[in-house]
Amino acid sequence: MSTDLLAATDSLTELNDRLALLSFRAGWNKAEPSLWAEPRTDFVPCHWRWEEARAGLDAAGRLIDTELAERRNLFLVNPHPGNHYATLRTLVCAYQMILPGERARSHRHTPHALRFVLDTADDVYTVVDGMRIDMRPGDVLLTPGWSWHGHGNAGTRPGYWIDFLDVPTVHLLEPMFFEPWPGDYQQPERRTRDHAFVFPWEKTQQALAAAIPDPQERYGQRVVLDSSGVMPSMTLALQRLPAGFASRPWRTTANQIVSVKSGRGTAVVAGQRYAWQAGDVFTVPAWHALQISASEESDLFTVSDEDMLRLLRYLYEEAL
């Protein structure tokens, strides 16, 4: 299109049409607003029950092995229309199971990942960059982006855990790389539980017992794990709620996935009430009001994008 023809346009409608042919979108002719008064999201609050996930994994254990599936896992897919993968905008999580005698092939990828261990016997382990780290219930194990990692079970019964990854963040920003380990399995060079990539439950328990309750009454006794140096896109926090605890309602621009280590209680997320128990997971999308109550002493593990939003100066919180 000639610049003279464009400059001579004498109708705003015609100008908009001609600009569109040149892949311009006039600011006065937006298809939809690009700014709005407060955060909004397509992702919805949701609750997944561990008893149902475990039954599904046990069935899968009979039907599919690690030769056919890179990982035997069940992704927690947020049920908003058009979503087929993510749990929240920036995060995804999945229940995973490995049977006795199995090994899950080693690979590495851009996204950061971590495991929150639900139920294992002895000799269930992960191998991260050649380091074997045995899993125990309540442990948090890190796999920073581009670290080689695989899993194994040399024990006598299945091992179960929850995976958390920032894959949706990587999808949004697009720096995705993936590489399988040559020969399928990286052999461990050393074995330890004293490593920066594992937060043993016995140490976390001690930290929780010594923690001071949140003066703003959003949490109980809360401990934030020191993981941001290697995984800056995710914040990992545990909290202990005494029996009878009821938090003050509040909201944050951070997306939160909450898993239950132990106990029972309820969560009210933007008016939706969920009764949770050990092993369950529920989501709190950005800027959704949250109120938590515990009917017995309970320990919760939360993965969020809080640190990333704080770094970007996008983190806002509000008591309600």
Residues 160-201: tens digit of each pLDDT: 999 999 999 999 999 999 999 998 899 999 999 999 999 999
Separation of alpha carbons 264 and 241, rounded Å: 10
Choose among 92, 283, 276: nearest CA to 171: 92
Is the C-alpha dihedral spanning 215, 211, 113, 275 positive or negative?
Answer: negative
Q: In sequence order, which residues have a C-beta less than 8 Å from that of residue 8 and are 6 or more positions away?
A: none
Please compute the mean of the pLDDT values over residues 1-13 and round it to a whole number.
88
Q: Is the pLDDT of residue 129 over 90?
A: yes
- Is the model more confident about 89 or about 32? 89
What is the per-residue pLDDT for 69? 65
The number of residues in the chain equals: 320
Residues 96-105: tens digit of each pLDDT: 999 999 999 9
Asked if 305 and 235 touch (Cβ cutoff 8 Å), the reply is yes
Please compute the mean of the pLDDT values over residues 38-63 and round it to a whole number.
96
What is the per-residue pLDDT for 230? 96
What is the per-residue pLDDT for 183? 87
Residues 287-299: tens digit of each pLDDT: 999 999 999 999 9
Question: pLDDT confidence of 137, banded at 50, 70, 90?
Answer: very high
Q: Is the pLDDT of residue 64 over 90?
A: no
What is the per-residue pLDDT for 8? 87
Secondary element (H or E) of residue 231: none
What is the per-residue pLDDT for 34? 92
Note the pTM of the prediction, 2 decimals: 0.95
Please compute the mean of the pLDDT values over residues 59-66 and round it to a whole number.
87
Which domains does the chain carry? 1-35 (no CATH), 47-197 (2.60.120.10), 203-319 (2.60.120.10)
Residues 220-242: tens digit of each pLDDT: 999 999 999 999 999 999 999 99
What is the per-residue pLDDT for 311? 97
Token pair recorded at residue 71: 């990982």
Residues 273-316: tens digit of each pLDDT: 999 999 999 999 999 999 999 999 999 999 999 999 999 999 99
What is the per-residue pLDDT for 142? 98
Separation of alpha carbons 68 and 52, rounded Å: 23
What is the per-residue pLDDT for 315? 98
Instruction: Give the up-direction half-sphere exposure of residue 259: CA atoms within 13 A in the CB hemisphere.
Output: 25
Count of other CB atoms within 10 angstroms of residue 257? 25
What is the per-residue pLDDT for 4? 80
Percent of the chain residues past pLDDT 90, beyond the cut: 92
> ∠135-225-261 over CA atoms, to 5°?
55
Please compute the mean of the pLDDT values over residues 134-147 and round it to a whole number.
97
Token pair recorded at residue 103: 């090994």
Identity of the amino acid at 121: A
Please compute the mean of the pLDDT values over residues 54-70 and round it to a whole number.
86
Choose among 162, 151, 145, 103: nearest CA to 126: 151
Separation of alpha carbons 66 and 285, rounded Å: 33
Separation of alpha carbons 270 and 288, rounded Å: 5
Strand, helix or coil for residue 27: helix
What is the per-residue pLDDT for 68? 72
Choose among 196, 163, 195, 165: nearest CA to 178: 165
Asked if 224 and 280 touch (Cβ cutoff 8 Å), the reply is no
Q: Is the pLDDT of residue 111 over 70?
A: yes
Token pair recorded at residue 271: 């008016």
Q: What is the average pLDDT value for the chain, to the nearest integer?
A: 95
Q: Is the pLDDT of residue 67 over 80?
A: no
Residues 77-91: tens digit of each pLDDT: 999 999 999 999 999
Burial 17-33 (b: 16+ CB within 10 A, else e): eebeeeeeeeeeeeeee
Q: What are the CA-CA distances from residue 135 to residues 76, 122, 172, 192, 197 (Å)?
A: 22, 8, 32, 11, 12
Separation of alpha carbons 236 and 307, rounded Å: 9
